[in-house]
Structure 1
Amino acid sequence: MSLSWGELPVGRVLRLAGVNADIDANMLELVLDPLPETGPVLVTYSVAEGDSVSELVESILGELETLAIGLFPGWLPGGERLSGPGGGGVAAARALAIRAASSSRHFGPFLADLADRAIRHRGPLAPGRPAPKGRSFPAEARAAGLARVIASTFDRESVALVIHVPEKPTSHGERVLVAGFEWLAHRSGMGIWLVGPELRNVDTHYLEIPAAVRRLADEMAPPSRRAAVGVPPVAGRPHPGSEVEQAMEAALTECDWAHGRTWNRTYRSRDPLFVMIRTDLMWAREKCVVEIDGPEHETFAQMERDRTRDRHLERDGFTVLRFTNQQVRGDLQGVLRHIHDFLRARRLGMSEGAG
């Protein structure tokens, strides 16, 4: 039986049948962008074959800790007001964490330690870079604590790891993978959803993917080499894994004209056939959308998808400004001037219209 994304179970290991080739990474991206309103937050992970269960579990938990630290302060209420480790920032972060844990399912000592490490390591995610060392907690506490932290960042109840399994694992490697995945699912409550070759003793489920999505994914270029961990955007913030979005936000913070902006906002189009659109950066009042395009937007299929999205936004009265990563990196001030000039003209027109 085929199941939709929101119906797949968490707290157990299962295999997503039919999602096993590189091109299917495009299908998952199309299905999950923007993130559906129901179901767990989805984190992708590319696993390597390990020698032991403990080694495998430690590798995954280490990557998830780096991810959680990069998502700070999204999971700590009030954390956005902390400027850094100096001036009592670490103590304040720990105090906020203990307060947050007292009224939630979080484990206070673990959350406080994670907040301590995050405030000492402010900045965007660095895939493959180990998280700063902190207090030693049992693997069980780390697994459950990280699942809660990541879920709360996206205002969800649970997390699912979509794990890309290596092709043709050895017999020993397969046993290690299955045992490690079972441990993670039971100890953390996360869904462990496997993509790739079939593994013994793992139930198979069929993910329902619309035919139109499959056709579009087939037209897109194969995805580039995946980072170890991938995470969707966090509503209201620049993407934690995008240095370009982080740099843009840092510059906009210094601009008094940039008020009213929202990052990674989900917008409901008036067109019932194209309901959900996630925009990179939006000024809703001025009806201005800014999109920052990486190299994946240069493919024909992605350009067609972008044009379709832009047309729906324009029919709803928005103007879409597109810039490439290269433009932002090479001429950030020029990009900001372009946005500023548009917003100034739009606000002037709104003011004259109101008069």
Structure 2
Amino acid sequence: MLRIAGVDSSIDANVMELLLDPLPETGPAVVTYAAAECDSVPELVGSILRELETLAVGLFPAWLPEGEKLDGPGGAGMAAARVLAMRMATGARHFGPFLAELAAHAIQHRDSFTLRPTRGRAFPAEVRAAGLARVVAAAYRRHEVALVVYVPEKLSSHGETVLVAGCEWLAHQSGMGVWLVGPEVRRVETVHLKVPKAVALLAAGLPPSEPPAAVLRWPPLRGEPARYSEVEQAVEKALLECPWAHGREWNQTYPSNDALFVTIRTDLMWAHEKCVVELDGPEHLTAAKAEMDRLRDRHLDRDGFTVLRFTNEQVLDDLPAVLRRIKKFLLGRRLGLSEGAV
């Protein structure tokens, strides 16, 4: 367990987002946790494990080979999920009984992304911590997971003791790297990182970061709509019925032509037509996020892309209108490209 600080620029939520979104090609899968002051270590650990269980359910079947072929959520699907999980655990570092129970629970709730109390076998916290870390790593095709913990401001002395002890326990039992970001805490080694110039330049122009809105945050899986996003799932479901929507790519990275700008992750992109569609949730209303969006859009525009932005409310209230706008742009761009090729 380490605390991360900058060498010549501070490490805050803005900087961490720029460093981790998109997730670097190498290294561990990284999820972030906004800690709150807790009265006891079991309370803190329990909170984190519940969030990780919700994540594991939401990432299913990405972590279970052949899991996408399962029917659900009936009894046959759950039984098949258990069989696949036990097969996956054979000769691997997964604990078969825990993985089987988690797979059955995940297929039961695969469309809800909410964790409901399991009625099956209960596992001790040590087993859950190690098993969940391995499952999340498998979903992202990484060997390891790191948990970035945002330290609350003005922790009491007792709260700080609980936070450090809980994170130490989690790092030891789960095998995850646990990185603390924020105020200095006692008994934790601080590692100073040199923030890449592109990130430092962009972060310097952003308003102060605000506390993370979600307790646990994680990157979407590349190549598919985010499983936790009702909006992205709704758009993809509609696009499946649209012949004109071919060539789309979800949650891909785009390296800007400007070497001093950060790599950009786009929600939805048609690379050939140079069209990017961004679907903005409430977090985009914060001053820092709005400014980051503006700068990203400007760089994409310089590289010849057109960015179409829609709020979650626009998608959920009038999805046909959103699709008509995207269709109109794509067909117009394709017509221009075909005329230019003549």
Task: Sort the TM-score into its range (normalised by shorter chain).
Answer: 0.7 to 0.9
- Out of 198, 212, 217, which is 2:203 matched to? 217
Amino acid at match of 2:250: W
- Out of 181, 186, 189, which is 1:203 matched to? 189
- Out of 29, 43, 49, which is 1:41 matched to? 29
Question: Would you say the 8 A contact 1:63–1:130 is kept in 2?
Answer: no
CA, structure 1 residues 86+266, in 2 after alignment: closer, same or farther (shift >3 Å)?
same
Q: Extract unaligned runs of 5+ from structure 1.
A: 1-12
- Out of 165, 171, 177, which is 2:163 matched to? 177
CA, structure 1 residues 99+282, in 2 after alignment: closer, same or farther (shift >3 Å)?
farther
- Out of 95, 98, 104, which is 1:116 matched to? 104
Amino acid at match of 1:182: E
**SS of structure 2 residue aligned to 1:88:** helix
How far 1:64 moved relative to its partner?
0.8
> Identity of counterpart residues, as a percentage?
65
CA, structure 1 residues 91+302, in 2 after alignment: closer, same or farther (shift >3 Å)?
same
- Out of 147, 165, 170, which is 1:161 matched to? 147
How far 1:190 moved relative to its partner?
0.5
Partner of 1:60: 48
Partner of 1:190: 176
Encode CA deviations 1:101-151: one digit per residue, 9 max, x unaligned. 33643222222211111111123545xx65645421222221111111111
**SS of structure 1 residue aligned to 2:160:** helix
Aligned length: 339
Partner of 2:18: 30
Partner of 1:142: 128
Question: Would you say the 8 A contact 2:198–2:262 is kept in 1?
Answer: no
Partner of 1:288: 275
CA, structure 1 residues 340+124, in 2 after alignment: closer, same or farther (shift >3 Å)?
farther
Question: Would you say the 8 A contact 1:235–1:264 is kept in 2?
Answer: yes
Tell me how far apart the structure 2 counterparts of residues 257 and 83 of structure 1 sit (CA, whole Å).
29
- Please say if 1:92 is aligned against 2:71: no
Question: Would you say the 8 A contact 1:124–1:242 is kept in 2?
Answer: no
Question: Would you say the 8 A contact 2:279–2:312 is kept in 1?
Answer: yes
The TM-score with structure 1 as length reference comes to: 0.82
Encode CA deviations 1:145-174: one digit per residue, 9 max, x unaligned. 111111122222111111122334444433
Question: Would you say the 8 A contact 2:14–2:288 is kept in 1?
Answer: no
Tell me how far apart the structure 1 counterparts of residues 289 and 51 of structure 2 sit (CA, whole Å).
30
- Out of 209, 213, 216, which is 1:226 matched to? 213
**SS of structure 1 residue aligned to 2:12:** helix
Give the RMSD, CA atoms, in angstroms: 3.1
Tell me how far apart the structure 1 counterparts of residues 174 and 296 of structure 2 sit (CA, whole Å).
37
Tell me how far apart the structure 2 counterparts of residues 300 and 199 of structure 1 sit (CA, whole Å).
28
Encode CA deviations 1:6-63: one digit per residue, 9 max, x unaligned. xxxxxxx1112369xx992112112222111222221111223333333322222111
Encode CA deviations 1:220-260: one digit per residue, 9 max, x unaligned. 36436522111112112222333222222232234344343
- Please say if 1:235 is aligned against 2:222: yes
The TM-score with structure 2 as length reference comes to: 0.85
Tell me how far apart the structure 1 counterparts of residues 272 and 112 of structure 2 sit (CA, whole Å).
28
